[in-house]
Chains A and B, each alone.
Chain A
Amino acid sequence: MKKLLFPLIALGVIALMGWGYYQAMYAAPTEATMGDVQRIFYYHVPNAMLSFLFFAISFVASCLYLAWRRNQPSLAQAADAWALAGAEVGVVYCSVVLITGPLWGRPVWGIWWTWDARLTTTLVLWLIYVSYLLLRHFAAGAQMQTLAAVLAIFGALDVPIVYMANRWWRTQHPAPVFGGSEDSGIKDPHMLAAFGWNVLAWAVWGLLLLAIRIVVERRQQSISGGEARAALAAD
């Protein structure tokens, strides 16, 4: 039964992704002024929202790693695996945002990119977490984990700035769809349904990736621990 559980969950997630695709490409009506290119919204916005969630997971896990690293090392290692997995999946989602955004901007604005507050802070967020992943790849040891945790906490401080950027400053980026002015929000119920299904589908997909990455990292930790013990025994 346990062996069947993962394929069943994976199949459910793939079916949900397929349903989300159908909703975005066929069920949602074509937007009057932008046409078909507006459908990029159903990928771009859920990926942006969920990148915040995964960076938040990395932030919380990094705080826990710093709190537990001296007194509860085994729990700290678990928190470190969560922090790494959250940062990685967050970077994947943020990369989608940074690529689909310009692909929407070119036909609608006439430009691929502009250095407005929302776009720039998003790029900075992506760069911080890419540097986090590079640090983890090229450095080693307990000191690396501590430095990485501090970097993840600093990176997460950019998340509220990205979120508030088009509320605090006048930006080329469209006004917030949700949580903006009183008349913000999706008015068409079919568009709202397509958006909701895609948020759900991308959330479940991302959580599956997160779970797999945590398992892979926990296994890596046990392999590295075994190698360290073998090296000590050889001495």
Chain B
Amino acid sequence: MGHQFLIAAFCATWAIQLGYVVWMIAKWRGQKAKLGSRS
């Protein structure tokens, strides 16, 4: 039973951390597109 909670904690941790990385990449690409359309 402890094992399931450990896996859940591991998955939740990385879902949050990688979710933030993906959001930053999306923001970065949005900025790049904006700068590209301006020039």
Contacts and interface: CB of A to CB of B under 8 A. Distances in A.
Interface in A31-45: 34-40, 43-44
Interface string B15-31: 01100110010011001
A174 to B, nearest CB: 16
Contact of B16 (A44, A92, A213, A220): A92
A39 B6 CA distance: 7
> 10 closest A-B pairs (Cβ-Cβ)?
A37-B2, A103-B9, A35-B2, A36-B2, A100-B9, A40-B9, A99-B12, A92-B20, A103-B5, A96-B13
B16 A99 contact: yes
Interface string A73-93: 000000000000000110010
A103 B2 CA distance: 9
A47 B6 contact: no
B31 A223 contact: yes
**SS class, residues of chain B in contact with chain A:** helix
6 contacts: A92-B16, A96-B12, A106-B5, A107-B5, A216-B24, A220-B31
Contact of A34 (B2, B8, B38): B2
A5 to B, nearest CB: 17
A95 interface: yes
Interface string A198-210: 0000000100010
Contact residues on B (Cβ < 8 Å of other chain), bracket: 20 to 34
A43 B27 CA distance: 27
Nearest to B12: A99
Contacts of A205: 17
Interface in A201-235: 205, 209, 212-213, 216, 219-220, 223, 226
Given A209-B20, A216-B24, A223 B6 contact: no
Contacts of B12: 96, 99-100, 103
Interface string A97-108: 001100110110
A216 B10 contact: no
Contacts of A219: 28, 31
Nearest to B20: A92
